[in-house]
């Protein structure tokens, strides 16, 4: 998952204005008449101005000076020219399309406050190493070890048992971490290619406990975008690069896991205690399974994933996490893609609708974790902040890829990931 900066944190300019700004009822300064004329002279060479006004800038959540009309050049050419001049005055520029399809140039006093997230490389490495340990422990549970036996092996430093736990756990842990790592590096590389500032991935370990009976040993990974997205193309590329990269790794891992000879697998008694003996396999993975299985084997794949090689189970979990990341919620990867494709008029209502559906599914007992994802989205903002240039279109190649992504999302849908054949 990639989390971008919140654009409501504009900071006052260090460059003093030529005259004191006016102040509206919200207590925030806005350009006065002298500034309006100055900015009009900057904007006029690039826009046929029809009107100007003071309005709320959705991207900055504060009052802005707005010029409405028709841009004389493509927004992708206008934005860098205007942005350089306006930022030199200590202001921030936003471009958007308003009512009646009029182009709008919004000028906000102050500049976007970028996240100042400074971490050492060894901190990221430390989180990764801890996550490897917790994920190995989770993998060991899938081949017959419980928490008590693990504690005993560590306490007695039983190297024979620890070695067996490692060899059993790595078959699950390393494929899962590979999928998660490639996912995050997809975001990272795409961001760097667009010259967007970004942190290294933060892996999140999840130690085993009696509270969470079925644990992956990790809650995934996250990177932070620390500079603004300039346009929808950047937003689309960075948001989609992670899920696609992770999925490209998960597919061969899933197929080879199905082809590999069965191992000990998850103990049946343990599954019965959890009231789980099957997983819901999305349509996409069923199609992939047909490359190595006949129709009868595919019909039994909901049980096969559990009792085949742990690598297949890790790939299944990786695919599930990819689907959840593609939910069109706020700062989720799917939220980035939805905003880039549809804009705020569709993306914002869609995010609220999907959040409501998640809550409903959780309350109806389909999967209790459905209640968690809207909370994650609320923590980072259910409404995705617009890019600074919200006019420049994606272009047909990205629109086509976006359509494919929507189809992919529906092929990955899983309402109840785990279930028992007794209760289904």
pLDDT in tens, 46-65: 999 999 888 777 666 677 89
- Residue % of the chain over a pLDDT of 90: 53
Counting other chains too, the contacts that 260-265 makes at CB distance below 8 Å and 24 or more residues apart are 260/308, 260/309, 260/311, 260/312, 261/309, 262/307, 262/308, 262/309, 263/143, 263/168, 263/171, 263/309, 263/310, 264/143, 264/144, 264/168, 265/142, 265/143, 265/306, 265/307, 265/308, 265/310
Instruction: State the average pLDDT over residues 225-231.
Output: 90
Pairing outcome for strands 218-224 and 2-3:
parallel
Confidence of residue 302 (pLDDT cuts 50, 70, 90): confident
Q: Give the residue extent of every domain in the chain.
A: 2-112, 121-419
Task: Decide: pTM greater than 0.85.
Answer: yes
- Residue % of the chain over a pLDDT of 70: 84
CA distances (Å), origin 20, targets 29, 30, 33, 65, 109: 9, 9, 11, 15, 12
User: Would you call 14 exposed, middle or buried from its count of C-beta atoms within 10 A (0-12, 13-18, 19+)?
Assistant: exposed
Instruction: State the average pLDDT over residues 187-202.
Output: 94
Query: 17, 35 in Cβ contact below 8 A?
Result: yes
**Dihedral angle of Cα 84, 89, 90, 96, to the nearest 10 degrees:** -50
Instruction: State the average pLDDT over residues 21-37.
Output: 54
Query: 265, 172 in Cβ contact below 8 A?
Result: no
Q: In the predicted model, what is the mean pLDDT of the chain? A: 85
**Nearest-angstrom CA–CA distance, 294 and 290:** 6
User: Would you call 324 exposed, middle or buried from its count of C-beta atoms within 10 A (0-12, 13-18, 19+)?
Assistant: buried
Higher pLDDT, 365 or 144: 365
Confidence of residue 133 (pLDDT cuts 50, 70, 90): very high
Query: 341, 399 in Cβ contact below 8 A?
Result: yes
pLDDT in tens, 93-125: 999 998 888 999 999 888 766 666 778 889 999
3-state secondary structure 103-159: EEEEEEECEECCCCCCCCHHHHHHHHHHHHHHHHHHHHHCCCCCHHHHHHHHHCCCH
Q: Which of 224-228, 259-263, 369-373 is the least confident region?
A: 259-263
Res 275 pLDDT > 50: yes
How many angstroms from the chain centroid is the CA of residue 255?
Answer: 25
What integer pLDDT is reported at residue 285 of this predicted model? 94
Q: How do the residues of the chain divide into helix, strand and coil, expressed in percent and rounded to 5?
A: 55, 15, 30
Res 348 pLDDT > 70: yes
What integer pLDDT is reported at residue 130 of this predicted model? 96
């Amino acid at each position: 998952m990639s989390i971008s900066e919140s654009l409501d944190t504009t900071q006052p300019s260090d460059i003093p204005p030529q005259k004191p700004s006016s102040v509206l009822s919200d207590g925030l300064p806005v350009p006065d008449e002298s500034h309006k004329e100055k900015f009009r002279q900057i904007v006029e060479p690039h826009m046929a101005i029809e009107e100007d006004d003071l309005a709320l800038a959705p991207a900055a959540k504060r009052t802005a000076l707005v010029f409405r009309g028709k841009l004389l050049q493509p927004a992708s050419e206008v934005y860098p020219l205007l942005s350089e001049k306006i930022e030199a005055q200590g202001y921030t520029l936003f471009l958007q399309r308003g009512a009646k399809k009029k182009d709008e140039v919004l000028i906000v006093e102050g500049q976007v406050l970028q996240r100042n997230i400074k971490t050492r490389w060894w901190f990221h490495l430390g989180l990764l190493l801890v996550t490897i340990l917790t994920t190995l422990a989770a993998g060991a549970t899938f081949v017959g070890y419980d928490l008590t036996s693990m504690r005993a092996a560590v306490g007695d430093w039983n190297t024979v048992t620890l070695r067996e736990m490692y060899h059993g756990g790595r078959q699950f842990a390393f494929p899962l971490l590979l999928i998660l790592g490639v996912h995050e590096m997809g975001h990272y590389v795409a961001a760097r290619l667009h010259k967007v500032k970004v942190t290294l991935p933060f892996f999140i370990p999840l130690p085993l406990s009696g509270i969470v009976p079925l644990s992956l040993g990790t809650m995934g990974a996250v990177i932070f975008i620390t500079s603004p997205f300039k346009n929808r193309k950047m937003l689309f590329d960075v948001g989609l690069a992670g899920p696609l990269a992770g999925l490209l790794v998960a597919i061969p891992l899933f197929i080879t896991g199905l082809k590999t000879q069965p191992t000990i697998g998850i103990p049946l008694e343990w599954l019965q205690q959890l009231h789980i003996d099957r997983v819901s396999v999305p349509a996409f993975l069923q199609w992939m399974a047909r490359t190595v299985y006949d129709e009868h084997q595919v019909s039994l794949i909901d049980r096969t994933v559990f009792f085949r090689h742990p690598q297949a189970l890790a790939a299944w979990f990786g695919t599930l996490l990819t689907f959840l990341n593609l939910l069109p919620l706020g700062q989720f990867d799917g939220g980035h893609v939805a905003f880039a494709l549809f804009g705020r008029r569709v993306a914002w209502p869609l995010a609220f609708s999907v959040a409501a559906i998640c809550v409903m599914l959780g309350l109806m007992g389909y999967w209790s974790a459905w209640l968690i994802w809207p909370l994650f989205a609320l923590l980072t903002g259910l409404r995705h902040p617009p890019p600074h240039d919200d006019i420049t279109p994606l272009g047909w190649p990205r629109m086509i890829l976006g359509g494919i992504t929507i189809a992919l999302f529906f092929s990955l849908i899983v309402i109840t990931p785990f279930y028992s054949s007794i209760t289904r």
